[in-house]
Amino acid sequence: MEQVLEVKGLKTYFYTEDGVAKSVDGVDFTLSKGKTLGIVGESGCGKSVTSLSVMRLVSEPAGKIVDGEILFNGDNLLAKTEKEMRDIRGNRISMIFQEPMTSLNPVFTVGNQINEVLKLHQGMTTKEATLKSIEMLKLVGIPLPEKRVHEYPHQLSGGMRQRVMIAMALACNPALLIADEPTTALDVTIQAQILELMKDLKERLGTAIMLVTHDLGVVAEVADEVMVMYAGRVVEHGAVREIFAKPMHPYTQGLLKSIPDISEEVEFLETIEGLVPNIYEMPAGCSFAPRCKHAMDACRERQPALTYDGGHKVRCFLYGDASEGEVG
């Protein structure tokens, strides 16, 4: 399987008046052609910062990628100049941002905005780009694309705006598509349509997809692998079926137990007690230890390493020797 993306030891920190926020602290993963990786976790766990790091869009000077490698088709993106990255963004790597209404420019038609991408990266004329834009709107299931291409974002529904964002992202046939909460704020019917569209496009175009979400239902629907993040680190990573059938990390178990099961009658849903730790005052050992009912002395003293079990990875002392962990 052709490997499109490999991230090694990625660390992205933010330097503020309150201290150093280690938003992404040593993340590793790979993504192959035609596969979807779902990245899940609570707000503030580092999902979106990971995706922005891959795009080299972390806000500077406060934010900085301090260590690691991001290999895209074998090339380290961290060694690229800003000009080289501009040629890659929107062309070989595209991103669907969280809120389409704020991502689309309200004073330009949707056709003009897709045209801009095609003229910049593909060297098309305005006429060629317009025809391609109509083709892309049709591809993502927007009715009457010849009419919609001349309309403004405010004239479209939320679902249609999200489809326009997908059309724009796929216009140059990227090898990698990063989708940051692509179904947030959409009703369930439109969500289902967008997810079905992403699956269909992945199969037809062979695009590798990095899906950032807090919705485990979305992951179960479209992803091949899932990476669970907590406080800037990967705590579990494996095939979707394996993790949903046999979650190993207590945090993953808690996330899955918090989802209602319509096949059973329950009086209340289980919750994960406590709060995400202050990013400026992280606990000395495992960052989940203060909320974990299985926490041991080792958990409060050392940071566990990722343990490998047939491709299923988990960062927990329940499955590895405490001596493998890192101090602090």
Which pLDDT tens digit goes with each residue over 276-325?
888 888 888 999 999 999 999 999 999 999 888 777 899 999 986 544 45
Q: How is the chain split into domains, by residue range?
A: 3-92+172-327, 104-170
| Percent of the chain topping pLDDT 70 | 95
Q: Cα dihedral angle (130, 134, 136, 137), rounded to 10 degrees?
A: 130
| Token pair belonging to 91 | 């062309």
pLDDT in tens, 165-217: 888 988 888 999 999 988 776 778 877 887 888 888 788 888 899 999 988 88
Q: How far lies 46's CA from each of 12, 124, 207, 251, in Å?
A: 9, 37, 24, 15
Q: What pTM was estimated for this model as a whole?
A: 0.89
Please name the CATH architecture into which domain 3-92+172-327 falls: 3-Layer(aba) Sandwich (3.40)
What are the tens digits of pLDDT across the range 55-91?
A: 999 988 899 999 999 999 999 999 999 999 999 998 9
